[in-house]
A and B are shown apart, each in its own frame.
Chain A
């Protein structure tokens, strides 16, 4: 019962911790906002004091250690989720290969010009990018050096094995890779993108 109560109270405390930190990082702009800001701060501080008083009879040192740890752990999880809203919109489309072709809807590119296709059973993703001239390019995210998986960076793709880098067009910008990324032909049929995987 004690660990469960501690966990629940720590989650409450961590939420108020997060809110307090966020309120301090984003100060209010107007007088009305400042008044509301102060009220929110008072509320979160009151919540934490309330929690501390309830558990006053528990071992204080154990409580502080545990709640601090859980505060950090839960806070890091919340922070990761918050980062999701700040990061570029990454769409990963899981699909199957049929007749050496992959089909994805064009409508998905309305939100982001870059989408990642994950064919079932494959060990490499395919990056599909909408270019400025409304053409589409599909790149196999397999490093041409030693076949490691690539990860996107802000201006292309990186291989963490030896540091090779490729730009958005798949051309090598940093070695040891020497060859550009494999490209697949892409066609548009009835509002769907068809990626042809057949080896030419």
Chain B
């Protein structure tokens, strides 16, 4: 925590001191009169949202399914020029019903707040947010609408390594520099709950999601974005404690408690390029969890000490030269990830967690807020570890390292 604070503080001080010599053509005109005209939008409450539905065929299992993936309602309210409220309410898989309901349900549905935060404008280029929000980590965590990414499914690296729509409660400071095209953010949020980590879902199950999350452990996340003509480069990081128990409970389990006890670290860098219809995205991320062995001993888990993910995507908009709002994009994306790239001393390697995904498809946007998508995803994993197989063949079907999926979906935003 101290090192993070010192890093940013010293970097900014050093930059400010060095930048004194770089004077641009900025001018300051001062008059004795101060106009009351702010020239801003007069509407106070805004309702908007996004959603998607899709069909998927799993060729190995000879099984298809369809679902309304999500329907999200935004409600935003501007109290005054300085203070606004932003909320996102999400319904996944269309229906959430009680056990005695006469509505048949798959049990996959849920209703959740995706975001609910207050925004305090400090000036035209800096603001503070407080509440439940998605930190700026990765590409799709902040911009996760179906019109923002290619493919029916969000990138697998940004589902399994960086949790998708990862949101926590906290306070964040966002801003952009004057003399450089740099955006920055720093936030402090509640930490992950390692007691909920699952072997095959990375750290995603440990999210607090704003629902009675433990705040004994905290996390700091920060990012820097740099725009250079048509390239956007981002670096982000996360460091947080993962044990929210009281010191007595933690000690009895052999875990380190406290704000940053049993820490988890995440680093991410990505690059996006868009010009003349060409779109390129490249992302790499690594998670380090040095004290995973203690967690495994406490909860009989198989959590690794390290996991990584990376992907590269190339897309082309064939309608770019028409200069119209219509877009027809063909794309291909290659992803590789390993949810147990390095093991704790008491961990067991699972080859199925080392995965390669190749996705190729189309993305048609008749207008910027509607998308019709189709893609094929090829999956290759490592072999199953016999030590982890509870129900071996012939009782269960033999594990296949290769699988193919066909996805067809629609999405909207407004």
Contact = CB atoms under 8 A, between A and B. Distances in A.
Interface of A: 73-74, 76-78, 80-81, 83-100, 103-105, 108, 111-112, 115, 118-125, 140-142, 144-149, 151-155, 160-163, 171-176, 178, 182, 184, 197-199
B315 to A, nearest CB: 13
A62 B214 CA distance: 36
B41 interface: yes
Contacts of B37: 97, 100, 197-198
22 contacts: A74-B10, A81-B19, A90-B24, A91-B24, A98-B33, A98-B35, A100-B35, A105-B27, A118-B124, A123-B81, A123-B123, A123-B124, A124-B40, A142-B41, A154-B230, A160-B136, A162-B145, A163-B147, A175-B369, A175-B414, A176-B147, A178-B414
Contacts of B325: 171-173
Interface stretch (B55-63, B204-212, B221-229, B379-387): B221-229
B76 interface: yes
B50 A77 contact: no
A162 B19 CA distance: 32
Contacts of A174: 147-148, 368
Given A94-B26, A142-B40, A162-B145, A175 B368 contact: yes
Interface residues of B, number: 72
B275 interface: yes
A93 B26 contact: yes
Interface in B98-133: 119, 121, 123-125, 127
Nearest to B77: A146
A172 B14 contact: no
A87 B17 contact: no
B232 interface: yes
Contacts of A141: 124
Given A77-B18, A81-B18, 13 more contacts: A78-B18, A80-B11, A92-B179, A93-B26, A96-B33, A96-B34, A100-B37, A108-B25, A122-B38, A145-B46, A151-B181, A154-B228, A172-B325
B29 A92 contact: no
B183 A160 contact: yes
Given A145-B48, A146-B74, A153 B227 contact: yes
A146 B178 contact: no
Interface in B133-182: 136, 142-143, 145, 147-148, 174, 176, 178-182
A95 B123 CA distance: 14
Contacts of A87: 180-181, 228
Given A90-B179, A172-B325, A80 B15 contact: yes
B10 A153 contact: no
A96 B31 CA distance: 7
B22 interface: yes
Nearest to A115: B25
Contacts of B19: 80-81, 84
B274 interface: yes
Contacts of A199: 39
A24 B252 CA distance: 54
A42 B175 CA distance: 42
Given A80-B18, A160-B183, A111 B147 contact: no
Contacts of B22: 81, 84-85
B97 interface: no
A14 B84 CA distance: 44
Nearest to B19: A81
B13 interface: yes
Contacts of B179: 84, 90, 92
Contacts of A94: 26-29
A151 B31 contact: no
B181 A152 contact: yes
A149 B127 contact: yes
Contacts of B183: 151, 160
A161 B50 contact: no
